[in-house]
Amino acid sequence: MFRGVKVLNWNQMKELPSNSLMNSNAINIRELTKVYRGGVRALDRVSIEVKQGEIFGLLGPNGAGKTTLVKILLGALSATSGDGELYGRNIGSAASRERIGFLPENHRFPSYLTGKQLLAVYGGMAGLAGGTISGRSDELLRLVRMEQWQKTKIRKYSKGMMQRIGLAQALLNDPDLIFLDEPTDGVDPVGRHEIRQILLDLKGRGKTIFLNSHLLAEVESVCDRVAVLDKGRLLKSGPARNLIEALPTFRIETSGITEEQQAKIKEAFSHGLYDKNIIRISFHKESDVNALIDFLRGMKIEILAVIPDKKSLEENFIQLIRGAQENQGGTA
């Protein structure tokens, strides 16, 4: 019945080009919950799918549960409930970590090692042979521009250099899935640009990247899809552009608004921000601003300027988090 179908073992599958496995997800997690001792709920039924070959960004304020999620995926933490797979292998198993690279946030690489020794140690722990490590190390040290520091002890490295050598460490075993927790933290603007370029190059080679970052601009510039976590709950997930897309916003400058008039405007357009003669307000469609202009003119208010004012990513992100917190407060 299955004549002619070749069954591949794991090692043979690893030899296949990355795009041979494009139909499956790199990460599947279902209803993942983590409750720490003391009752702190760090993750609350989080389900995420990350497709192979995409850059996936995880956003959220401090304490949102981002690092907890990554640690569970890597087996450093156990989930209270829920399950998931990395490339079809159960999270937490040693086999699930064969195809991954990881750069943690606040890493403390052994200070007694040099950059080159660090790569030798972690390359070996990833199962690479000496010859492979040597070749890959040279290549990666060039990529992250650390060749001249390779024989220097890590204790002498700056924060940015630590991130660079950490990135090289994460890429040493040529992983298919790379977890990066704040990879550009402490890196100068030029270095940040270079790291972003490296991420895009890796994506071009079919690698999957899971990026934890506070830097919204960074997420927007490299991520295909984004999830937003807050207090352990998944608020939103989807394409980066849709998720943090700005609504059309206007700054309307007027003169001589009385308190009575302002009260009437607030009643009609309650979602605006009012500061004396300045109104800042968002609409779902740009043309909807005409309704406000007509309303103001109907009250004989002089309009000095109508200025399109696109909200920043940060403002949208904050609005999303605040909205979630208000909803939570309302339901509590």
Partner 1 sequence: MNKFLAILYDTFLEIKSGKIIYLYGALTLVTFVGMALAPQFQIDGRDIIADGMVPQEMMSMAQAYFYKSFLGFYVLLMLFGTAWLLPRYLGKGRVEIALSKPIGRIPLAGMKFIAVFCIMSAILILGTMPIWLILSIRLDIFSMTYFGGLLYAMLDFLLLYGLIFSLGLISRSGAVSLIGYFVLLVASGLLAQRMMIYDFLGDSIWKTILDVTYHILPKYGEFGENYLTILTDWSIKQIYPVWSTILITVVIWGLAAFIFTRRDY
Binding site for partner 1 (CB under 8 A): 36, 71, 74-78, 94-95, 97-98, 100, 102, 104, 106-110, 112-113, 117, 120-130, 169, 179
- State which residue, 28 or 117, has the beta carbon closest to partner 1: 117
Minimal distance, residue 75 CB to partner 1, in Å: 6
Which residue lies nearer to partner 1 by CB, 26 or 77? 77
Query: What is the closest distance, in whole angstroms, from the C-beta atom of residue 97 to partner 1 in the complex?
Result: 4
Distance CA 273, CA 281 (A): 6
Shortest distance in whole angstroms from residue 212 CB to partner 1: 13
Q: What's the rounded Cα separation, in Å, for the pair 326 and 12?
A: 52
CA pair distance 157, 107, nearest whole angstrom: 13
Give least dist CB 279 to partner 1, A: 49
30-34, Cβ contacts within 8 angstroms, sequence gap of 24 or more = 30/82, 30/83, 30/84, 31/81, 31/82, 31/83, 32/69, 32/72, 32/79, 32/81, 32/82, 32/83, 32/84, 33/79, 33/80, 33/81, 33/82, 34/65, 34/68, 34/72, 34/77, 34/79, 34/80, 34/232
Asked if 86 and 26 touch (Cβ cutoff 8 Å), the reply is yes
Q: How deeply is 108 buried, as exposed, middle or buried, from its count of CB atoms within 10 A (0-12, 13-18, 19+)?
A: exposed
Cβ closest to partner 1, residue 177 vs residue 296: 177
**Nearer CB in complex with partner 1: 172/289:** 172
Instruction: Give Cβ neighbours of residue 200 (< 8 Å, ≥ 6 apart).
Output: 55, 222
Contact 165, 109 (CB under 8 A): yes
- To partner 1, the closest distance from the beta carbon of 10 in angstroms equals 12
Name the residue nearer to partner 1 (CB basis): 73 or 146. Answer: 73
Answer positive or negative: Cα dihedral of 202, 205, 211, 217.
positive
Our separate counts of H helices and E strands in the chain read 11, 14
Taking a C-beta distance cutoff of 8 angstroms, is the pair 296, 303 a contact? yes
Nearer to partner 1, 67 or 237 (CB): 67
Nearer to partner 1, 74 or 247 (CB): 74
Q: Which is nearer to partner 1, 150 or 169 (CB)?
A: 169
Token pair belonging to 271: 């979602």
